[in-house]
């Protein structure tokens, strides 16, 4: 069952979170994610079952989200740029305590305040930020329909596996308004009360340990659990990769532009294709490997400097020998530009 809507990306994200079973939102206004906060408040003002709080900053937003999660509520937050930086403290706590923290990250240009609309420079921060080992799940949406679907899905992923889970978007995706067809997401994974009063002993979730060996055992268990979920969670998309000698590896909005470029390249007899990770952490390494194996060149394109590329090469080291790096920190790609880049390398 599907439905067409004339809608912005950020409006679609709010609808998606509702489909995912979200009950509470905590946040602070920051471009280009502010419309998510505004949209949730508007929706909650008409539904007594939904709650929200505009906190004093992103640190407070993050910890308030954790508090609601401990009480068994499907709570989430949305932020961007410097707000995402401030939120690393509560996110690291969620990673350590295995709490289903959910965040929508509308990437913007940095460092610091930078620009306020677009970049892909928050990949490292989402995947590996904080003072932990990056035991997180990170999705990257490439269009409005997918942003809707993934903003529902991240709640089920977080609550099923008990790791912080994020959806990366950007201002281009969030602020554009188009007619989009939406499919109904799957039934949400249920929440549960984490702090229990109906048991003999109180729930004790630790965030501080007295010795390194003691803490190491906890980390080893968490890392083992994370490794087990990789094949269950990792996703990617292949677009016209059959027989492709030129493969583009891109995610998010860049991947969306690459599809149009590939259509034109194919029309001109150039065998090009796209491999798009839907999860940046963990990566779908088996599928990516199988698609790039027969390619002559692999164009890694990102609106950042080596952030996406580093994740790829670390997990797929053989990629380095055939990789053509195309980095544009905080700047978008057009289909025409991608077409020319591929054609000029032939």
Residue at token pair 């007899």: 269
Strands of the chain (E only): list them.
Answer: 2-8, 24-27, 51-54, 75-79, 102-107, 137-140, 165-170, 177-183, 236-239, 246-249, 272-277, 279-281, 297-302, 323-327
**Predicted local confidence at residue 187, as pLDDT:** 83
pTM (two decimals): 0.97
Question: What is the CATH code for 236-344?
Answer: 3.40.50.920
For the stretch 35-87, pLDDT in tens is: 999 999 999 999 999 999 999 999 999 999 999 999 999 999 999 999 999 99
Gap between the Cα atoms of 183 and 75, Å rounded: 23
288 CB contacts (<8 Å, ≥6 apart)?
Answer: 236, 249, 275, 277, 312, 316
For the chain, which residues make up each domain, given as ranges?
2-197+224-229, 236-344
The CATH number of domain 2-197+224-229 is 3.40.50.970: yes
Secondary structure letter of residue 190 according to DSSP: P
**Predicted local confidence at residue 199, as pLDDT:** 62
For the stretch 148-187, pLDDT in tens is: 999 999 999 999 999 999 999 999 999 999 999 988 877 8
**Predicted local confidence at residue 1, as pLDDT:** 63
* Rounded to 5°, angle at Cα 96 from 90 and 99: 70
Residue ranges in the chain whose pLDDT is less than 50: none
Which residues make beta-bridge pairs with 54?
A: 27
Question: Matching CATH topology for 2-197+224-229 and 236-344?
Answer: yes
Burial 126-157 (b: 16+ CB within 10 A, else e): bbbbbebebbbbbbbbbbbbbbbbbbbbbbbb
């Amino acid at each position: 069952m599907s439905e067409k809507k004339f809608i912005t990306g950020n409006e679609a994200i709010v609808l998606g979170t509702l489909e995912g079973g979200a009950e509470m939102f905590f946040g602070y206004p920051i471009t280009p994610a502010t419309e998510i906060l505004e949209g949730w408040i508007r929706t909650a003002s008409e539904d007594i079952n939904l709650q929200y709080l505009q906190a004093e900053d992103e640190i407070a937003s993050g910890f308030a989200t954790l508090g609601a999660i401990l009480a068994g509520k499907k709570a989430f937050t949305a932020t961007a740029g410097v707000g995402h930086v401030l939120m690393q403290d509560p996110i690291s706590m969620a990673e350590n305590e295995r709490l289903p923290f959910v965040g929508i990250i509308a990437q913007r240009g940095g460092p610091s305040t930078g620009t306020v609309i677009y970049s892909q420079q928050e990949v490292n921060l989402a995947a590996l930020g904080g003072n932990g080992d990056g035991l997180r799940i990170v999705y990257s949406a490439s269009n409005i329909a997918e942003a809707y679907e993934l903003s529902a899905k991240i709640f089920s992923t977080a609550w099923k596996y008990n790791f912080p889970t994020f959806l990366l978007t950007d201002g281009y995706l969030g602020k554009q308004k188009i007619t989009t067809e939406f499919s109904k997401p799957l039934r949400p994974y249920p929440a549960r009360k984490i702090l229990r009063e109906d048991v003999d002993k109180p729930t004790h979730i630790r965030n501080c340990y007295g010795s390194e060996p003691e803490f190491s055992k906890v980390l080893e268990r968490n890392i083992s659990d994370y490794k087990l979920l990789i094949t269950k969670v990792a996703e990617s998309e292949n677009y016209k990769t059959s027989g492709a000698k030129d493969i583009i590896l891109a995610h998010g909005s860049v991947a969306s532009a690459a599809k149009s470029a590939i259509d034109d390249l194919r029309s001109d007899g150039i065998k090009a294709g796209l491999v798009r990770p839907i999860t940046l952490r963990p990566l779908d390494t088996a599928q990516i490997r199988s698609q790039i194996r027969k390619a002559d060149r692999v164009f890694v394109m990102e609106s950042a400097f080596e952030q996406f590329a580093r994740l790829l090469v670390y997990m797929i080291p053989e990629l380095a020998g055939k990789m053509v790096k195309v980095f544009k920190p905080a700047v978008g790609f057009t289909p025409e530009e991608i077409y020319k880049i591929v054609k000029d390398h032939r």
